[in-house]
Amino acid sequence: MNSRPDKKIPVCQPFLNGREVEYATDALQTGWISSSGKYVTEFEAAFAKYCGVHHGVSVCNGTVAIHLALAALGIGKGDEVIIPDFTMIATAAAVVYTGATPVFVDADAATWNMDVKQIEAGVTSRTKAIMPVSIFGNPCDMDAIDALARKHHLFVIEDAAESHGAEYKGKKTGALADITAFSFFANKNLTTGEGGMVVTDDKELAGRCRYFKNLCFPLTGARNYIHEDIGFNYRMSNLHAAIGLAQVEKADEYRAMRMRNAKLYKENLNSVAGIIFPQDTAGALNVHWMNAIQLDPESFGKDRDQLMSHLHSFGIETRLLFAGMHRQPCLKKVGCDCSGAYPVTDRLTENGLYLPSASSLTEQDIRYVCERIKEASRG
């Protein structure tokens, strides 16, 4: 057996292979460590350009990026926002922060993204926006979502926390919605450690984001410490932005590494019975933030928990997939309707796991993980 007990393979660690240290050191040495400083402006401009839009407004994490986008669009108490049931809690929490109510749509069995065929059933007179999430780096069927949004006069806010550089019909995430929220958490394809950004082509909306993210200090004119609105302190520091700028400079290279990981996993595991990969959305370029699989325990011969503990015994770290929003006690507590059936999400929650997915994985690492998976299915 090809055992490497000394070798640990973490599920995902950051990859900082460009000028991150140089830029962050410069920020430290020049004393520009708060939210003023050239790296904030340069990072915002560079990331917006990478997405193919005009405006980027940096913030301190991806959760508040979603909240900021919602607040800048005026979404609040009494409103409803349609979100996927299969997502990370931040998507729903950000809606709750505004006083609005998230309404859940089950996942599509093939792509694991929000099932666009089920969105319209969730639209009511209170619905203000649809919030697609490009799960694990795979963009949603944005043409279908756009058509629904136009028909019902809704905003589209993309939660692209997981899909930097992904594309749909030749356009990148960031350029596919009225406004898009990104996360730069340490495990993301592009990272600043903690961080986020909203991007949009709408100048006025970007201005409102800038206004709200800085406690509603007026954007122009003298500071008299009079505030017309309640805002938030969601500013990103120049130190974080320095890391971000270096990451954007390497964005295509980092994207290619994640996509190569996915290709290797598929090549090595495609013939294993009982392993199901999500399918790429038609017309999309999936950037494979995470390599997630769903098990069919009967044909695989083991259940998900057995496979995870087998991999753990070889130093291979894995993670459970998200638990659906309808299962969240916190959302029940705040009055969300969690009574519906979400069978696809439930299957993913119960049978799914993430495999190691860092940009820095070697081909040998991936083959090693796949061999351990194959032997678990045989044994």
Ligand X SMILES: Cc1ncc(COP(=O)(O)O)c(C=O)c1O
Interface with ligand X, residue 211, by CB under 6 A: no
C-alpha 263, offset from chain centre: 20
Interface with ligand X, residue 198, by CB under 6 A: no
If the CB atoms of residues 37 and 195 are measured against ligand X, the closer one turns out to be 195
If the CB atoms of residues 190 and 295 are measured against ligand X, the closer one turns out to be 190
DSSP per-residue string spanning 305-350: HHHHHHHHHTTB--EEPPPPGGG-HHHHHTT----S--HHHHHHHH
- What are 19's two structure tokens? 């000028």
State the minimum distance, in angstroms, from the CB of residue 185 to ligand X: 4
State the minimum distance, in angstroms, from the CB of residue 200 to ligand X: 17
Interface with ligand X, residue 191, by CB under 6 A: no
Site string for ligand X, 133-162 (x = CB under 6 A): x-------------------------x-xx
Interface with ligand X, residue 62, by CB under 6 A: yes
If the CB atoms of residues 211 and 234 are measured against ligand X, the closer one turns out to be 234
**Residues contacting residue 253 through CB under 8 Å, at least 6 positions apart:** none
Q: Which of 138, 183, 238, 261 binds ligand X (CB under 6 A)?
A: 183
Interface with ligand X, residue 163, by CB under 6 A: no
If the CB atoms of residues 63 and 138 are measured against ligand X, the closer one turns out to be 63
Beta strand segments in 244-327, E: 275-276, 284-285, 291-295, 319-320
If the CB atoms of residues 27 and 64 are measured against ligand X, the closer one turns out to be 64
Interface with ligand X, residue 53, by CB under 6 A: no
If the CB atoms of residues 86 and 300 are measured against ligand X, the closer one turns out to be 86
Q: Are 194 and 170 in contact (CB under 8 A)?
A: no
Interface with ligand X, residue 349, by CB under 6 A: no
Residue for token digits 């700028």? 245
Q: Which of 58, 61, 261, 345 binds ligand X (CB under 6 A)?
A: 61
State the minimum distance, in angstroms, from the CB of residue 184 to ligand X: 7
Closest CA to 317 of 1, 13, 2: 13
Which amino acid is located at 151 in the chain?
A: K
β-pairing, 167-168 vs 155-159, is unpaired
Q: Are 190 and 309 in contact (CB under 8 A)?
A: no
If the CB atoms of residues 88 and 140 are measured against ligand X, the closer one turns out to be 88
State the minimum distance, in angstroms, from the CB of residue 196 to ligand X: 5
Interface with ligand X, residue 111, by CB under 6 A: no
Residue 227 CA neighbour count, 13 Å, CB half: 11
If the CB atoms of residues 84 and 373 are measured against ligand X, the closer one turns out to be 84
Rounded (10°) CA dihedral 237, 174, 157, 167:
-140
Burial bucket for residue 298 (CB in 10 Å: 0-12, 13-18, 19+): exposed
Interface with ligand X, residue 190, by CB under 6 A: no
State the minimum distance, in angstroms, from the CB of residue 372 to ligand X: 26
Q: Which of 73, 88, 179, 242 binds ligand X (CB under 6 A)?
A: 88
Q: Are 61 and 47 in contact (CB under 8 A)?
A: no
Q: Are 327 and 349 in contact (CB under 8 A)?
A: yes
Point out which residues bind ligand X (CB under 6 A).
61-63, 87-88, 90-91, 133, 159, 161-162, 183, 185, 196
